[in-house]
Structure 1
Amino acid sequence: MAEEKTNVMRILDQKKVAYTPHHYAHPDGAVDGVSVAALIDRDPSCVCKTLVTQGASKKYHVFVIPVGRELDLKAAARAAGEKSIEMLKQAQLLPLTGYVHGGCSPVGMKKQFPTVLDESVEGLDTIVVSAGKIGAQVELAPAALCGLIRGKFAPVAK
C-alpha cells in the first residue's frame, strides 16, 4: 500500500533532494525517537529529533539532534548566538511551526527559523528526520538537508 506523501516529501521532490521515505505504525500516537529508530530499523545515532527553542532575544531556533541525546542548552545558545535558550512550550509548537509534537520536521515549517544540526551527524551518509507527521520519516544526506534549510552544523547535543 502506497503511503500518502507529506508536505515535507513534496518539498524534497520539488527541490530535487533525494530521500527515502519510512513509515511506521503508531497506534498510540507519538512514540519516542529511540522507538521510532527501532520501528524503521535504523541506528538511533542517525535518527534525529527536531527541537524548537526560543532564545533570550525572543527569536526562535531549531535544533536537529540524534534521538538518544539531549539538547545542551548552553551549547545551543552559543551556536545560536543567544545569551540563553529554552525549549518551546508544547502548546506553542503547532501554531508556530504547523507541526504537532512528535511530527515536527526541520523542512517545511510555516517560517524558516535558523537551524543547527548536531555536528555528530555531519559525517553520516544519511540521517532520518520527521516527514512532518507522526508515522512518517524521511532519510536523506545531512549535507542535503543542511543546504535545503540553510542550516549549519555545531556541537549542540550531550
Structure 2
Amino acid sequence: MGASKTNAMRILDNKRIEYGMMSYDARDGKIDGITVADKIGKAPETVFKTLVTHNGPQQLYVFVIPVATELDLKKAAKAAGAKKIEMLAVKDLQKYTGYIRGGCSPIGMKKQYPTFIDESAANLTEIIVSGGKIGTQIVLKPSEFLEVTQAESAALIK
C-alpha cells in the first residue's frame, strides 16, 4: 500500500473495524467538503465534516455533519448539554486535536472529546470522514463510526 496510514486508520485497525480509504488531489488547495465529495465522486450527504467547538477553555465538543450543511449551534449545545458553544478557532485546532483544518478526523484526536454525529447518518449504509490528513478520506459504516468515536446521534443541522 503506497499511502502511509494515519493515526485514525491505525485506531480502526486496532479495533478490527473495516474501513475503506479514498484519496483525492488537494494540490489545488480546494479542500472544502463539497469539493472533496465531488473529487471522490460521492454524494455530499454521505461525506461528513468534523467541526470542533468549545464552551470554555477546557471543554471541547466534536460535531460530525454532512458537508453541505451548517451546524446549528443551539441544537449542538442542546445535544452536548451545554448552555452555549462556539466554534474553536482554526489556530487552536492542532493544539487540541493534533489535526489541521481540512485533515481533521473525528477518529484519533489527542483526547476523546464528547462527539456527536448528525442523525442523518443513521439512514446511510456508509459515511465518509477525514482520514486525518488532507487528501485522505475514510469510508465506514455509521454504526462502526459510533463505536470507535463513542459518538451520540443527534439533530445538529440548520
TM-score range, shorter chain: over 0.9
Distance 2:2 2:59 in 1: 39
**Aligned twin of 2:143:** 143
Alignment deviations for residues 96-143 of structure 1 (CA, whole Å, 9 cap, x no partner): 000000100110000000000000111210000000000000000011
Distance 1:122 1:106 in 2: 17
User: Post-superposition, which runs of at least 4 consecutive aligned residues in structure 1 deviate over 6 A?
Assistant: none
| 1:94 maps to 2:94 | yes
Residue identity opposite 2:152 in structure 1: K
**Aligned twin of 1:37:** 37
In structure 1, the gaps of 5 or more residues are: none
Task: List aligned pairs for 1:75-90, cutoff 5 A.
Answer: 75-90=75-90
User: By how many angstroms is 1:28 displaced?
Assistant: 3.2
Q: TM-score, normalised by structure 1?
A: 0.96
What CA RMSD, in Å, does the superposition of the two structures yield over aligned residues? 1.3
Task: List aligned pairs for 1:43-122, cutoff 5 A.
Answer: 43-55=43-55, 58-122=58-122
Bigger drift between 56-65 and 125-134 goes to 56-65
In structure 2, the gaps of 5 or more residues are: none
Distance 2:30 2:58 in 1: 28
User: By how many angstroms is 1:31 displaced?
Assistant: 1.0
User: By how many angstroms is 1:30 displaced?
Assistant: 5.3
Residue identity opposite 1:127 in structure 2: I
Q: TM-score, normalised by structure 2?
A: 0.96
**Aligned twin of 1:6:** 6
SS in 2 for 1:156: coil
User: By how many angstroms is 1:58 displaced?
Assistant: 4.6
SS in 2 for 1:133: coil
**Aligned twin of 1:23:** 23
Residue identity opposite 1:82 in structure 2: A
User: By how many angstroms is 1:55 displaced?
Assistant: 1.8
1:6–1:94 CA distance, 2 compared to 1 (3 A) = same
Question: Equivalent pairs: percent with the same residue?
Answer: 50
